[in-house]
A = this chain, B = another copy of it.
Amino acid sequence: MPVPAKVEAGTGQWVVQQGLTISVSGPDDPRVRSAAQRFVDHLSLQTGIPLRYLTAQPDKATIAISCDRPGEKVQKLGEDESYKLDVTATGAKLSAPTALGVIHGLQTLLQLVAPSSQGFAAPAVHIEDTPRFPWRGLLLDSCRHWMPIEVVKRTLDGMEAVKMNVLHFHLSENQGFRVESKKFPKLQEMGSGGHYYTQDQIKELIAYARDRGIRVIPEFDMPGHTTAWFVGYPELASAPGPYEIETKWGVFDPAMDPTKESTYKFLDKFIKEMTGLFPDEFFHLGGDEVNGKQWDANSEIQSFMKSHNMKTNEELQTYFTQRVVKIILKYKKTPVGWDEVLTPDVPKEVVVHSWRGPESEAKAVQQGNRALLSNGYYLDLAESAEEHYLNDPLGGDAAKLSPEQQKMILGGEACMWSEMVSAENVDSRIWPRAAAIAERLWSPAEVRDVDSMYARMEVESQRLETLGLTHHSALHAMKERLAPNHFEALRTFGSTVEPVKKYSRSGTHKYTTDAPLNRLPDAVPPESIEARKFSRLVDRIVAGNTSDDDIALARDTMIDWKLNHDRLSPAFQSSLLAEDAAVSQNLSTAATIGLQALDMLGSHASVPTGWANQQTAQLELMKKGQSELLLMVVAPIQKLVQAVGK
């Protein structure tokens, strides 16, 4: 995962054995050797076989790696990432134009290894692979919740595993300014609460990412989302200070003053410093969600607008954007901005990053700008992998573009906004769902089988945990913390629920930057794989396309749920879980109804009049979000009940 562009199955398999050797031929690109070393370490983790990095001549090596030419000094958009991989009974040959293909091909080889009748083995296969889109990104928001450097590193490990190649690092926000500036040290000193990356750490992360075939682009969101800048530098704002670091969530009034030359002088120096720190060609200027209230209230800004014949705040923002774009271009970088920057006269160099809807993508291209899709890839909204997976950068309006225009759509980015995640559970919000997005952006467009994706995603999810991601283990520990003496029952209950979707959590408890994220909605994955499997099972039963095993499994599962509330009830004495008791009770009730339905379906006995409608109505109430949880197994139980009614 992602599925390669071309796969031909061979016969036989290569069995992983101690003493395996590796050859590396081609130009001296340290990333190749480093990837090979990592391959050995990961293979050891994936098999439990102690392996060392042993070299051999290409004709004798178990894994023969060759690479044609050195890569670009700074990894470039569109740089060749292709590779060819041949697995035979004796080992594997991997060839690629650059180190990037080697990095990707080794991950493919690792994914092929599985337990077999001869030990851990990879099936014989011939693969020719290359990505569909050159920009396959993940946005990490280290501002709203601080993400320590270890979190960023393991996120990069996960990205490498699924062939993502851009870390979009969201580094400034109302709630925090997260990178050291030597020119303007009050940015981090007063705007970060002590949580920021030093320039040395940024360099370390960039090197770490480069080693894994990943570009790092910084985002400094402006002119809005800038409260944390103003704590140290209130003179940048459109209203007098003093300012404090924002602790709440939402869209706020503070915005830079686009009318003062001093703003651009500051930004020129700042962008000069940051374009020096971040070597990537692209530089993200943000540009989203300016509510304009500070501008409306500032008489000097109002007279500036009049004198410049600007009628709307959008025009004022366009003026600001054009000034900032010029600065970015002056420092030889290509600007990227959220889709608010897409106005008729936005410079053609700007890459438009679509977050509000897919339309702006096509519109940008038609205007001559390149574009990126993030709408539909927001990991923070707790939506299903399926929804993300079927969301295509060349779908919607973009499908109607000419092939030449479609090439201007560079790809997309999964977004991990961090209002409702902490460093503790962020892995569980990114993984494994980001792998589905990675496949959408890498694999051919026609790879769209959802069941196949889920089956492969489950295996990849385990592999990611083996490589050091904590999406499973952290949630396990969080549930143990909630119910030290009733963990198994909480696990059962937790497997049937999901957190409420989109932005609906923020309306319930009072969430701020400092609020604990330690309750059940934080400790369950955004998507319940168990509920999905149960739903599939019910689909088969209802369709009559079923077996005795299916029926037995459905029955056992629902018996377990029915009994679970009594098992779990002592844990609801804890104030952290108390609010979830009603949902747990609903699970038992729903399971009881489901068991009745299953019995009726099996016995073909007469069903009391109105029974199905009555139960359906009762179940309908249980589908509503409650205590920030959705009980995901109600809908399939409703299907069982409705099948009885037919």
Interface residues of A, Cβ cutoff 8 Å to B:
18, 46-50, 114-120, 422, 424, 459, 462, 465-466, 472-473, 476-478, 480-485, 487, 514-518, 522, 571, 573-578
- A547 CB to closest chain B CB (Å) equals 13
Which B residues are CB-close (under 8 A) to A477? Answer: 462, 465-466
User: Residues of B contacting A118 with CB < 8 Å?
Assistant: 575
- On whether A48 and B516 interact (CB within 8 A), knowing A462-B484, A465-B480, the answer reads yes
Q: In whole Å, how far is A454's beta carbon from the nearest beta carbon of chain B? A: 13
A578 to chain B: which residues have CB within 8 Å? 117
Q: CB-CB < 8 A to A116: which residues of B?
A: 573-575
Could you tell me if B462 and A50 are in contact, using CB atoms closer than 8 angstroms? no
A516 to B18, CA, bound (A): 9
B-side contacts of A472, CB under 8 Å: 476
Is the Cβ of A576 less than 8 Å from the Cβ of B119?
yes
Q: Could you list 22 examples of A-B contacts with CB < 8 Å?
A: A47-B516, A47-B518, A48-B522, A49-B516, A50-B514, A114-B484, A115-B482, A115-B484, A115-B574, A115-B575, A115-B577, A116-B573, A117-B573, A117-B578, A118-B575, A119-B575, A462-B480, A462-B484, A466-B477, A472-B476, A473-B473, A473-B476
Instruction: Determine whether the beta carbon of B48 is less than 8 Å from that of A518.
Output: yes
CA distance A514 to B574 in the complex (A): 48
Assess whether B576 is in contact with A115, with CB atoms less than 8 Å apart.
yes
Contact assessment for B518 and A49 in the assembled complex, using a CB-CB cutoff below 8 Å: yes
Give the docked Cα–Cα distance between A148 and B48 (Å). 16
| CB-CB under 8 A for A484 and B466, given A117-B574, A117-B575 | no
Given B48, B462, B481, which contacts A46 in the complex, CB threshold below 8 Å? B481
A48 x B115 contact (CB < 8 A): no
Q: What residues of chain B lie closer than 8 Å to A485, measured between beta carbons? A: 459
| Contact among B50, B476, B478, B487 with A48 in the assembled complex (CB-CB below 8 Å) | B478
**B48 and A517 form a contact (CB under 8 A):** yes
**Given A118-B575, A119-B576, residue A514 in contact with residue B462 (CB < 8 A):** no
CB nearest to A116 among chain B residues: B574
- Kindly list chain B residues whose C-beta atoms are within 8 Å of the C-beta of A516: 18, 47-50
Question: Which residues does chain B contribute within 8 Å of A48, judged by CB atoms?
Answer: 424, 478, 481, 516-518, 522
The answer to whether A484 and B465 have CB atoms under 8 Å apart is no
- Complex Cα spacing A119 to B120, Å: 47
A517 to B49, CA, bound (A): 7
Please indicate the chain B residues that have their CB under 8 angstroms from the CB of A484 in the complex.
Answer: 114-115, 459, 462
Residues on B with C-beta less than 8 A from A462 are: 477, 480-481, 484, 487
Contacts of A577 in B (CB 8 A): 115
In-complex Cβ contact of A514 among B18, B517, B571 (8 A): B18
Bound CA span A18–B477, Å? 21
One of B47, B119, B473, B518 near A481 (C-beta < 8 A): B47
Which residues from chain B contact A478 at a C-beta distance below 8 Å? 48
Residues of B contacting A18 in the complex (Cβ-Cβ under 8 angstroms): 514, 516
Residue in B closest to A560 when the chains form the complex, CB atoms: B556
Please give me the residue from chain B that is nearest to A115 by CB atom: B574
Inter-chain CA distance A485–B117, complex, in Å, is 15
Residue of B nearest to A483 (CB): B115
Cα A485 to Cα B458 with chains together (Å): 9
Could you tell me the distance between the alpha carbons of A145 and B422 in the complex, rounded to whole angstroms?
36
Per the bound structure, the CA–CA distance linking A67 and B619 in Å amounts to 60
Q: Contacts A48-B517, A473-B473 given; 19 further ones with Cβ under 8 A? A: A18-B516, A47-B481, A48-B424, A48-B518, A48-B522, A50-B515, A114-B484, A115-B482, A115-B575, A115-B577, A116-B574, A117-B574, A118-B575, A120-B576, A459-B484, A459-B485, A462-B481, A462-B487, A466-B481
Complex CA gap A516/B84 in Å reads 31
Is B119 in contact with A50, judged by CB distance below 8 angstroms?
no
| A-B residue pairs, 3 tightest by C-beta | A48-B518, A115-B574, A473-B473
Q: Are B482 and A466 in contact (CB under 8 A)?
A: no
Contact partners of A483 in chain B: CB under 8 A: 115
**Chain B positions within 8 Å of A482 at CB level:** 115
A424 to B576, CA, bound (A): 34
A462 to B487, CA, bound (A): 10
For A480, the closest partner residue in chain B by CB is: B462
Residues on B with beta carbons closer than 8 Å to the beta carbon of A573: 116-117
A571 to B115, CA, bound (A): 9
Considering residues A114, A522, A577, which has the most beta carbons from chain B within 10 angstroms of its beta carbon? A114
Cα distance A465–B477 when bound, in Å?
Answer: 7
Our pick among B47, B466, B480 for the contact of A480 (Cβ within 8 Å) is B466
Bound-state Cα–Cα, A473 to B474, Å: 9
